[in-house]
């Protein structure tokens, strides 16, 4: 064997310096990726830090104040003279039959808004997903109700539902379905359906736009394969389209649920929760207790109950979404 291959550099020899430098460089290169990974871990937190601070300052602190008010008898005229009364306000929520009726109306209103707006939105999205002349114009026109201000929508539908000169009564009479002698919004029987019709008319375009975007993500080759297999439209929808848009539908249902729980302007402008509490939802009752009856304590308890309901719905959605993702 060549003797040079067994030659070793002594520590004091000139050849040892380049080896030491190379070893140090390799150590530096090994240490650098670790620091880079550490920095990359903190980068997302730095970006969301302003949002967290904003939510803590403008959402967290008011919620804590509202929570503390819900255990007092604070009034709007003298909130500084509040007295701690424990859970009396929450006990009132479940013992008062009028407030239980408020939760009942809120549940009906929320469920109807979610089911009807998503159903109509899905139908409109399926129609707009097809190729036809003037499709781009139709897609633009369908968003008009969603873009309309709630105040304008409320004023328009108050006129539509008027019993004397409203177009709704005239349309029903023209169709041979009779009509209502008075205003539809003054009827305890028809006020809530009238509010629901107005709400769904305004929000279903948002559902159609979101679901249309989801439909664009359905692979075309899967649709063609289903057509080749001679599957009808219903089976193509169930086997190809629905699995793709199902997560979007679930997220959309969550958003509409939360928006329906907190919707105030449209209902207040049209009926103010009447007649006889027929359209009195949670936020309407909260507003009435705080700014009409001046009972901040009970209003705060209603608000915290609404927050708890929204959190339960959100957590349920998160759990179901994770289980669905694991099952795929």
Pick the closest to residue 268 from 201, 185, 325, 166 (CA basis).
185
Structurally, the chain folds into a number of domains equal to 2
Query: What's residue 40's pLDDT?
Result: 78
User: Residue 244 in contact with residue 236, Cβ under 8 Å?
Assistant: no
Pick the closest to residue 179 from 317, 251, 190, 125 (CA basis).
190
- What is the model's pTM? 0.83
Q: Show the DSSP H helices in the chain as ranges.
A: 16-55, 61-69, 88-95, 97-128, 135-141, 144-147, 150-160, 167-174, 191-215, 220-228, 233-236, 242-262, 265-270, 282-291, 296-327
Statement to judge: residues 29 and 85 lie in one domain:
no
User: Residue 177 in contact with residue 226, Cβ under 8 Å?
Assistant: no
Statement to judge: residues 177 and 244 lie in one domain:
yes
Expressed as residue numbers, the domain containing 47 is 3-58
Pick the closest to residue 104 from 264, 266, 279 (CA basis).
279
Statement to judge: residues 29 and 152 lie in one domain:
no
Distance separating alpha carbons of residues 237 and 221, to the nearest angstrom? 14
Look up residue 317 and give its two tokens: 């959605």
Query: What's residue 35's pLDDT?
Result: 64
Statement to judge: residues 213 and 294 lie in one domain:
yes
Q: What is the DSSP string of 18-77?
A: HHHHHHHHHHHHHHHHHHHHHHHHHHHHHHHHHHHHHHIIIIIHHHHHHHHHTTB--BSS
Distance separating alpha carbons of residues 159 and 165, to the nearest angstrom? 8
Statement to judge: residues 49 and 84 lie in one domain:
no
Query: What's residue 53's pLDDT?
Result: 93
Distance separating alpha carbons of residues 303 and 314, to the nearest angstrom? 17
Look up residue 328 and give its two tokens: 């795929």
Q: Is 65 part of a structural domain of the chain?
A: no
Rg over alpha carbons for the chain, rounded to the nearest Å, is: 31
Query: What's residue 164's pLDDT?
Result: 82
Query: What's residue 196's pLDDT?
Result: 96
Q: How far is CA 61 from CA 48, 54, 58, 200, 203, in A?
A: 18, 10, 6, 34, 31
Q: Is 66 part of a structural domain of the chain?
A: no
Alpha carbon distance, N-terminus to C-terminus of the chain = 62
User: Residue 269 in contact with residue 198, Cβ under 8 Å?
Assistant: no
CATH of the domain at 145: 1.10.3720.10
Statement to judge: residues 36 and 115 lie in one domain:
no
Q: pLDDT below 50 — which residues of the chain?
A: 1-22, 25, 27-29, 31
Distance separating alpha carbons of residues 28 and 24, to the nearest angstrom? 6
Query: What's residue 281's pLDDT?
Result: 96
Distance separating alpha carbons of residues 268 and 249, to the nearest angstrom? 29
Statement to judge: residues 18 and 129 lie in one domain:
no
Statement to judge: residues 198 and 249 lie in one domain:
yes
Statement to judge: residues 291 and 153 lie in one domain:
yes
Statement to judge: residues 182 and 96 lie in one domain:
yes
Cα angle, residue 234 at apex, residues 245 and 327 outer, rounded to 5° = 40
Q: Is 67 part of a structural domain of the chain?
A: no
Query: What's residue 226's pLDDT?
Result: 87
The predicted-structure confidence for 267-276, as pLDDT tens digits, reads as follows 999 999 999 9
Statement to judge: residues 206 and 279 lie in one domain:
yes
Query: What's residue 233's pLDDT?
Result: 86
Give the single-character DSSP code of 1: -
């Amino acid at each position: 064997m060549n003797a040079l291959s067994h030659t070793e550099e002594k520590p004091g020899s000139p050849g040892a310096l380049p080896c030491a430098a190379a070893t140090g460089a390799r150590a530096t290169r090994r240490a650098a990726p670790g620091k880079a990974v550490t920095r990359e871990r903190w980068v997302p937190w730095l970006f969301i830090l302003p949002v967290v601070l904003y939510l803590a300052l403008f959402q967290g602190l008011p919620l804590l104040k509202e929570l503390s008010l819900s255990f007092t008898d604070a009034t709007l005229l003298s909130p500084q003279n509040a007295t701690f009364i424990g859970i009396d306000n929450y006990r009132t929520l479940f013992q008062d039959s009028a407030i239980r009726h408020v939760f009942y109306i809120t549940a009906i209103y929320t469920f109807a808004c979610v089911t009807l707006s998503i159903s109509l939105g899905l139908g409109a999205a399926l129609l707009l997903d097809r190729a036809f002349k003037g499709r781009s114009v139709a897609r633009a026109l369908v968003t008009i109700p969603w873009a309309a201000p709630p105040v304008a929508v409320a004023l328009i539908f108050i006129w539509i539902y008027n019993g004397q000169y409203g177009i709704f009564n005239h349309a029903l009479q023209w169709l041979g379905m009779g009509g209502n002698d008075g205003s539809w919004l003054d009827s305890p029987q028809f006020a809530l359906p009238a509010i629901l019709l107005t709400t769904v008319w305004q929000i279903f375009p948002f559902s159609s736009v979101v679901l249309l975007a989801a439909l664009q993500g359905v692979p075309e080759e899967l649709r063609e394969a289903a057509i080749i297999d001679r599957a009808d439209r219903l089976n193509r929808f169930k086997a190809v389209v629905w699995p793709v848009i199902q997560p979007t539908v679930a997220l959309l249902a969550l958003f509409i649920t939360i928006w329906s729980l907190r919707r105030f302007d449209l209902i207040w402008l049209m009926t103010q929760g009447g007649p006889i509490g027929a359209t009195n939802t949670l936020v309407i009752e909260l507003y009435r207790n705080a700014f009409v009856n001046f009972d901040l304590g009970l209003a705060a308890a209603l608000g915290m109950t609404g927050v708890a309901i929204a959190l339960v719905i959100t957590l349920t959605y998160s759990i179901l979404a994770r289980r669905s993702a694991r099952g795929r």
